[in-house]
Structure formats: C-alpha cells, structure tokens
Amino acid sequence: MGTDLTDTPEWGGHGAGGHVPVLLKEAIDFLAVKRGGIYVDATVGLGGHSYEIARRLGAEGHLIGFDKDPAALGRAAFSLQSSAFSESTDELAAGGGQRAGLDWPVVTLIHGSFAELANREPRTAYDGILADLGMSSLQLSDPARGFSFQAEGPLDMRMNPMSGETAEQVVNHIDERELADVIYEFGEERRSRRIARAIVRSRPIRTTKQLVEVVSAAARSMNQKHERIHPATRTFQALRIFVNHELDDLKALLESAPGVLKPGGRLVVISFHSLEDRIVKDAFREGAKQGWYGLLTKKPLMASEEEKDRNPRSRSAKMRAAERV
C-alpha cells in the first residue's frame, strides 16, 4: 500500500487537551500566515492548527474553519473563544462569545464539509488553506461513534452524526459485489471478496465488535507473525471513507482551491493514507502544469523521528504544499 498503517485507522492530527496536531510547526511554516490575512482551516477538528493560525493573524485577520463533526467543532469553538471573537453563523450556533483578546482575529466556524468552500457567497480570495485530513482522538475514543475497532459500539462512522447513511446500513444493505468493491477501492484490501462474502453471510451486523469478528476470521493471515496491522484496519478505513465521501470531498477542495486562493496564497494538505496522498500529489502536479501553482514540496514532508517517537499518530502523515501563482 505504501502506507505505514498503525493498529488504529488513520489516527491523525488535531490538538486540544494534550492532543498535539501532527506536523504542526511544518504546516504553519509552509502556510506562511500573514498578519491581517484571510485563512481557511478546512478541518478544524479540536482547534490545534486553528489556534496557531489565529494567533498570527491579529485583529485585522479572519479565520474560517470547517468541520463536519459538530462535537469537534463545539470543542474547538470553546477553546478558541477563550481569546477569540467567535462569530455565530447559520451553520453553527457558536453562542456569541466575548472578545477577550485585543489582538485576535474574527473566527467563523462552519458546520459543514470543506467541499462547500467554492460555493460560499460572497466568493472570497483566501491567503491560505490548510487541510489536515487525519481523524481526531475525540472521534476515535468515543465507542458510540463506531470509528474504532478496539471498542464495542454501534456501527455508525459518520463524521456528521445528523445526516447520511451509517456504516451499519452499508454493511447490511448493499450487495456483495458492491461491498467488495468498496473494501478494495477505499481500503486497498486484497482480501476484499472474501471479507464481503463473510459479511453478507453474517448479516445482520449491528456493532463494531461483530464486524471485527467477522472480518478478522475472513482476513486472518496464514502467517500472523508477519501481519503488521489488525486484520480489520483496512475494512474499517474503507467503510469510513465511503460513508463520509472523504475522497470526493478532497477532490472538490483541490478543484476549487486555485479559484479561491489569492496570488501568493498557499495550500497545505496533510494526508494519512496513500489514497489521499495520491490525489493531492496528482492535483498539485496538474496545477503546476497548468501554471496555477508553484510546488513548495517536491516530495511529501514526513514527521521527524523525534515526533514519531513522541506522537505515534504522525507515522503515516505526509504533507504537501503549493503556492498560487
């Protein structure tokens, strides 16, 4: 796969409450935040990157943050309000907020996908866009969300628990061939047909524990000593990506970015598996070919050994950056 998968699916980087964002310094350095600028944090998560962007913007600046997950967005709003003017929007009732910091930008938090960026009115020219595509610990640590195969919970997996199909609906209702295709395409799982057949035979499947047992039995390697990851890792990844339309949203963001970035504006993307990184790499190369971008990273930037030791979640992170010409 070309991916350093850990025993949990795409533990990624948003910071709050001791959870340090992955490649934080590198991302902020490449974003080159200008005082008074307009920046987008496409994946606010718990607000770690947002805070570092906001503190560099000053009172004349504006930070716009997107996230599908209302729980994460609420946590981020709370932490940013301690020193921010938080602007309520139709998308998020941020509760107003007090302007406690005299040199803090306007912060607008939006409950929605970053794929909507190009459709927002009025169209705004941005000085920079940051997208950290990793999941937050808040999502993975809550069994009720159904993201982790390490704790029993309902098979949900939706970033936005208020809309869309759940993973339970997917595993119990789509046909075997389509299910195998999902697991193969989004999980890069070579045992996809065997796993899909086992899932269909075991229906109905209601919980993460049930799914783990079925997938593990079907996918178990003959030589378990050489199995680098849990046998359910790729299937859980595939279902999560499919349920949340993650790759479609990423493509939409990359397609819209050249049209919304100012000349000199920067796009920084941190990905956590090879499917995402391949899409980002191809979009950046095409953008450079079209004369839209100057590439700032010829190869993806990886976490240092020190960061990997300190934060194992950073092991599979890859960062690419480009500047609008």
Instruction: List pLDDT tens digits, range 45-95.
Output: 989 999 999 999 999 999 999 999 999 999 999 888 765 544 434 344 333
Condensed to tens digits (0 to 9), the pLDDT of residues 273-300 reads 999 999 999 999 999 999 999 999 999 9
User: Can you give the pLDDT at residue 121?
Assistant: 62
Q: Starting at the earlier edge strand, list the strands of the sheet with 85-87.
A: 85-87, 106-111, 62-67, 38-41, 126-132, 261-271, 318-324, 293-295
Task: For residues 276 and 296, state if they share a domain.
Answer: yes
Whether 8 has a pLDDT exceeding 60, the answer reads no
User: Which range of residues forms the domain containing residue 233?
Assistant: 148-244
User: Can you give the pLDDT at residue 82?
Assistant: 66
3-class state of residue 173 by DSSP: helix
22-27: average pLDDT? 96
Percent over 70 (pLDDT), the chain: 85
Look at phi and psi of residue 69 and say left if phi exceeds 0, alpha if psi is from -120 to 50, else beta.
beta
| Beta-carbon count within 10 A of 84 CB | 26
Given pLDDT bands bounded at 50, 70 and 90, which one contains residue 225?
low
16 found inside a domain: no
CA 53, CA 224: separation in Å to the nearest integer?
44
180-188: average pLDDT? 98
Task: For residues 106 and 94, state if they share a domain.
Answer: yes
275 found inside a domain: yes
12 found inside a domain: no
Phi, psi (rounded to 5 degrees) for 272? -130, 5
Percent over 90 (pLDDT), the chain: 74
User: Can you give the pLDDT at residue 100?
Assistant: 44
**Average pLDDT over the chain, rounded to an integer:** 87
| Report for 7-21, 131-145, 185-199: range of highest mean pLDDT | 185-199
Given pLDDT bands bounded at 50, 70 and 90, which one contains residue 19?
low
User: Can you give the pLDDT at residue 6?
Assistant: 33
Whether 194 has a pLDDT exceeding 80, the answer reads yes
At 110, which CATH number? 3.40.50.150
Task: For residues 233 and 276, state if they share a domain.
Answer: no
Condensed to tens digits (0 to 9), the pLDDT of residues 84-127 reads 544 434 344 333 333 444 789 999 999 999 999 888 766 779 99
Q: Is the dihedral of CA 69, 70, 73, 74 positive or negative?
A: negative
The predicted model scores a pTM of 0.88
Task: For residues 117 and 64, state if they share a domain.
Answer: yes
237 found inside a domain: yes
At 166, which CATH number? 1.10.150.170
CA 262, CA 305: separation in Å to the nearest integer?
35
Last residue of a domain, one of 244, 268, 284: 244
User: Range with the lowest mean pLDDT among 16-20, 140-144, 181-185?
Assistant: 16-20
CA 3, CA 122: separation in Å to the nearest integer?
39
The token duo for 212 is: 């783990």
Condensed to tens digits (0 to 9), the pLDDT of residues 154-165 reads 999 999 999 999
3-class state of residue 243 by DSSP: helix
Domain count across the chain = 2
The full DSSP string for 57-126 is: H-TT-EEEEEES-HHHHHHHHHHHHTSSEEEP-SS----------TT--EEEEEES-GGGGGG-SS---E
Task: For residues 278 and 221, state if they share a domain.
Answer: no
Residue 136 vs residue 168, higher pLDDT:
168
Residue 229 vs residue 152, higher pLDDT:
152
Phi, psi (rounded to 5 degrees) for 267? -120, 120
Task: For residues 70 and 30, state if they share a domain.
Answer: yes
User: Can you give the pLDDT at residue 138?
Assistant: 80
